[in-house]
Amino acid sequence: YVLKDSEFALDNLVAAVRRAITNRTTRVLVVDDLPSARQMLIDLLQAQQFRVTEASTGVEALAAFEEFDDIEIVITDYNMPDMNGHELTRRIRHRYGSDRMRIIGISSSNDRLLSASFLKAGASDFIYRPFVPEELQCRIALNVETLTQLKQLRAAAASDYLTGLYNRRYFYDHAPRLVNECLRRQCPSSVAILDIDHFKKLNDTYGHEIGDLVLKAVARRLHALFEGTTSLLSRLGGEEFAILFNEMDSRAATMLCDEVRIDLAGLKVSADDEELSVTVSIGVAEIAGYESFDNYLNAADQFLYMAKHNGRNQVYS
Ligand code: GH3
Ligand code: MG
Ligand code: MG
Ligand code: MG
């Protein structure tokens, strides 16, 4: 499950938890050349509310991944005419790790080594036919549970606890890849660092909890401003946020950042019986070539320093 850049990390967390409670959305791909064997699996899975896609050959199975991007569990037979279950497993594994795709081998062969060789080929599990339905159900449930736990871990690792925005780790993991995609298409991209002005004073005057309220309000507003765009927003830490602007040169990003600055200056945060407001300073750097991503962040940081030095509440690029 890849977190979409436009999605709010907190929403993903909620979705992951929701999916933990119900397996209704899990899609299972059933691969078996024998129609009756396939149908038996399908009936069992559908009785359990899984969405099922079927394939009668390895080639059909691989094609199913083109059609459905939500397959998370594959149950595959061993003996099939075009490619056997091991080969299919290896090919699927080549594209999807076991943290995103669970593959369960199944066979009526009495070769006792088949289970081990399936696991070696990359399968997550194996079932010998004939099986009792409960065994299939338990093994599927365990594999769904593993996937759900991994999703929750990924969502938690990607999101900032206070604001629910993507965190620094997520930003550093994903921004360089997005930048390289832009550069490959010869599109410009820019990166900005936004920092709240005199935030320490706000903390000192009103207390840390009010400071947190303001941080959350700024984060919520930023999220609303960038939701559904191709920009990647994150909280780097403290009162600092980073924004990657895809397909935007420094001029466009600077103009947009100035609108953001003005918008945030108009934000009112109710705290006790006061209405608080803050200003922000922003440094913007254009990403011009395949230098390390850190260099561009440093450049944005330098511009931020200049915006502060020049009196704050401004954008510098
Ligand atoms: P400048 O205009 O130069 O940016 O000044 P500043 O006071 O905003 O910057 P400085 O780096 O001196 O202080 C940042 C403050 O942010 C210090 C720290 O206590 C506070 N801070 C960092 N993280 C959090 C947080 O999660 N919650 C709260 N309430 N405060 C935080
Ligand atoms: Mg077969
Ligand atoms: Mg600050
Ligand atoms: Mg700061």
Mean pLDDT, residues 119-145 taken together:
95
When computed from its CA atoms, the radius of gyration of the chain, rounded to whole angstroms, is: 25
Confidence of residue 22 (pLDDT cuts 50, 70, 90): low
- CB 280 near ligand 1, within 6 Å: no
**Ligand 1 pocket residue status of 243, Cβ below 6 Å:** no
Nearest atom of ligand 1 to the alpha carbon of 162: 26
130 preceded by a cis bond (ω within 30 of 0) = yes
Contacts by residues 90-96 (CB-CB < 8 Å, ≥ 24 positions apart): 90/121, 90/122, 91/58, 91/62, 92/61, 92/62, 92/65, 92/122, 93/121, 93/122, 95/65
The alpha carbon of 79 and the centre of ligand 2 are apart by a number of angstroms equal to 4
Q: Let me know: does 77 contact 128? Beta carbons within 8 Å.
A: no
Task: List all residues 6 or more positions away from 67 whose beta carbon is below 8 Å from its beta carbon.
Answer: 53
For the CA of 200, the closest atom of ligand 1 is 7
Mean pLDDT of 13-26: 57
Q: Which atom of ligand 1 is nearest to the CA of 195?
A: 4
* 27 C-beta closer than 6 A to ligand 1: no
C-beta atoms surrounding 240 within 10 Å: 17
How confident is the model at residue 53, as a pLDDT? 98
SS3 content of the chain, % helix, strand, coil (to 5): 50, 20, 30
Q: Residue 174: CA atoms inside 13 Å, Cβ hemisphere, count?
A: 24
- Token reading at 10: 């907190």
Catalytic site includes residue 239: yes
Among 7, 145, 239, 247, the active-site one is 239
Phi, psi of 73 (to 5 degrees): -135, 135
pLDDT tens per residue across span 147-194: 999 999 999 999 999 999 999 999 999 999 999 988 889 899 999 999
Q: Is the pLDDT of residue 201 over 60?
A: yes
Widest distance between CA atoms in the chain:
78
Look up the pTM and report it.
0.80
Q: Give the tens place of pLDDT for each residue, 220-268.
A: 999 999 999 999 999 999 999 999 999 999 999 999 999 999 999 999 9
How large is the average pLDDT for residues 9-21? 54
Residue predicted with more confidence, 90 or 6: 90
If you measure from the C-alpha of residue 196 to the centroid of ligand 4, how many angstroms do you get, rounded to a whole number? 7
Instruction: Evaluate whether 143 touches 45 at the Cβ level (below 8 Å).
Output: no
Distance from the alpha carbon of residue 37 to the mean position of ligand 2, in angstroms: 9
Query: What is the percentage of the chain residues whose pLDDT exceeds 90?
Result: 85
Q: Is any atom of ligand 1 closer than 6 Å to the C-beta of 216?
A: no
| Residue 30 pLDDT exceeds 50 | yes
Give percent of the chain with pLDDT exceeding 70: 92
pLDDT category of residue 85 using cuts at 50, 70 and 90: very high
Task: State whether the beta carbon of 312 lies less than 6 angstroms from ligand 1.
Answer: yes
* Burial state string for 67-81 with b = 16 or more CB within 10 A and e = fewer than 16: eeeebbbbbbbbebe
Give this complex's ipTM: 0.97
Is pLDDT above 50 for 100?
yes
Q: What is the pLDDT of residue 12?
A: 54
* Interval 115-143 mean pLDDT: 95
H/E element, 96: none
Q: What pLDDT, on the 0 to 100 scale, is given for residue 5? A: 45
